[in-house]
Amino acid sequence: MRTLRIRAAIAAASLLVLAPSAALACACGCGVFDVGGVPLMANGQGGEAFVEYDYMNQTHNHAGTSGAPAADNADKQIRSNFVLAGVQYMINHDWGVMAELPVTNRLFRTADSGAVDRFRDTAIGDVRLMGVYTGLSPDMSTGLIFGVKLPTGDWKAAGFDRDTAIGSGSTDLILGGYHVGQLGRGAGPWGYFIQGQVDTPLAIQDNYRPGTEFDGAAGVSYDAGTVLGGRVKVAPVLQLIGSARAKDGGAEADPPNSGYERVLISPGVELDSGDWKLYGDVEFPVYQRVNGDQLVAPQLFKLVVSRRF
């Protein structure tokens, strides 16, 4: 029972923490970081602080379901380094809260003017305030998340389009859910999780409405035992992640070249030692369909360090 409760809390945390899109607003697909992964939320009452690093380097032009000539897209590169600091606290068995503060460093290379220009911005992203309800089942195996993304991110940096800026300028509603369980009977080494999250803008600024985005993940984890004299627990994870985003809207948007669907496969591993956890994964696209011409990344990287208190 204790193992299942921990994994349930973990799945809830994954929906809240693994950040990316809502918090890192980017029409090119940063939202995929918001789902997937394992342990972050403390078991039962208590808290956890975490730092997450995500990396995405979009250099390949894509049209429809296949690669396209670079000459068809004035944008040449969007390289993003995301650092997310957060804290979450389970008030009791049923309710938890969390706050996230992202900082993004972004390089944008574009030939809109004819020659290739380089623009850089490092700024606070869009803050998220979230809640989680785990009272749908006694073992916390099913739950809901809810919250808002605030327009705190920079969306006015020189040279950046609205869909490549660090912030979206919008206030968004975030809703999601999760379920975790064991494969087979009893408390065996195999577990599974499914989760989903939708992010939709409620209020916008300066004629730009980012498209509503859905991100979901389904995965399995394996309790591989301990290493280093029993001091570190090891759990490999394999997951499938899906994303779908509607076209952007408004006079400052580019609807023909926004919106997409994609599926990624992601191997990862979690290391657990006492109150500390380390999680990392790499995400590889296996299917992508975009509207118009858009830049995509061949891989995405995630690393999370957390500590319970």
Q: Count of CB atoms within 10 A of residue 137's CB?
A: 12
**CA–CA separation, 44 and 93 (whole Å):** 5
Task: Give pLDDT, residue 178.
Answer: 87
Long-range contacts, stretch 273-276, CB < 8 angstroms, 24+ apart: 273/231, 273/232, 273/233, 275/307, 275/308, 275/309, 276/305, 276/306, 276/307
- What is the topology classification, in CATH, of domain 2-308? Lipocalin (2.40.128)
Q: 63 with 72: CB under 8 angstroms? A: yes
Task: Give pLDDT, residue 37.
Answer: 57
Q: Domain residue spans in the chain?
A: 2-308
Q: 29 with 215: CB under 8 angstroms? A: no
Task: Give pLDDT, residue 129.
Answer: 96
Per-residue pLDDT of the chain (309 residues; tens, 9 = 90+): 444 444 444 443 443 333 333 333 445 556 555 655 543 444 567 889 999 999 999 999 999 999 999 999 999 999 999 999 999 898 998 999 999 999 999 999 999 888 999 999 999 999 999 998 988 888 878 889 999 999 999 999 999 999 999 999 999 999 998 888 888 876 789 999 999 999 999 999 999 999 999 999 999 999 999 998 889 999 999 999 999 999 999 999 999 999 999 999 999 999 999 999 999 999 999 999 999 999 999 999 999 999 988
Closest listed residue to residue 56, CA positions, set 28, 14, 34: 28
**CA–CA separation, 7 and 10 (whole Å):** 5
Q: Count of CB atoms within 10 A of residue 202's CB?
A: 10
Residue 293 sits at the vertex; the CA angle it makes with 111 and 249, to the nearest 5 degrees, is 95
Task: Give pLDDT, residue 176.
Answer: 92
Task: Give pLDDT, residue 149.
Answer: 97
DSSP notation for 169-214 = --EEEEEEEEEEEESSSSS-SEEEEEEEEEEEEEE-BTTBBPPPEE
pTM: 0.88
Task: Give pLDDT, residue 112.
Answer: 85
